[in-house]
Each structure stands twice: as C-alpha cells, then as structure tokens.
Structure 1
C-alpha cells in the first residue's frame, strides 16, 4: 500500500513537470491505475499530489474517476475493519 501511494504521488509530480515543460505526458489511465493499485490503494498519494502540485484539478472526468476509486477503497477498508 505504501508503494502504491508513493508511486502515485511521484507519477503525478512527474506528469506535472512534463506538462509544464510541454513534454509527452503520462496517460491518465496509468495515473488512475496507480491510484487503484495496492492493498488499500494509492488514492491518498494521488490526492496528496494533486493538492501539492495543483495537477489534474480541472479535468472533471479524471477527478470523478479518482473519487470513485477512493470511495471503493474506503468501502473495502471499512469491510476489512468489520471482519
């Protein structure tokens, strides 16, 4: 879980740097898959990076998918906590 969060965070930062420099970008699908990755998921790392780097804040479909991923991960973690 820590690796997924760290990778999501770093990829968002890397993508922001490439965006500012006008270079080829990381696919949104890749960013979302890293947010989804790991036992509890990398969504917290993705949200932290979005806030810190002010990246991917205006793209509504992307933001919607990220929130759906976070909600699904929260439900899974809540289910595990109840066991």
Structure 2
C-alpha cells in the first residue's frame, strides 16, 4: 500500500489588489460545528509563506480563539 499524501493545513491566495492572503485551517467551531480558519493578509508572496508558517504554529499552540461566536450570541445561549 503506498503512503498516504498529507493534506496541507494552509494555503496562499492572491487577492485582486495584488496582495496575498495566508489561510490556515484551525479545526471546527465547537458551538456551531463549522470549520474555522485563521487568516492574514500581506503584500508579498514570500511574506505570505512566512505568515502560513506562523499561523500554523499559532494553531498548534492553541493561541487562536476557539469560536467565532460574538458576545451577544454567547449571552443569548
């Protein structure tokens, strides 16, 4: 059986303005069940590669918010 290819956790997309956005998957939101992503916009592709690495480390250390819920939504629940 051949080894399985790992899915990348982050990617870089080019914006219409010419800037680049680094996007990293950060798991699922425990309250809504929807996927969460951490994003950062930079001007250069090289900067975006560094941002992907930094965001992946941030996700690995659990330094991002666990949910995208607002304070109002939390109070209502």
Q: TM-score, normalised by structure 1?
A: 0.30
- Greater share of strand: 2
- Greater share of helix: 1
Q: TM-score, normalised by structure 2?
A: 0.32
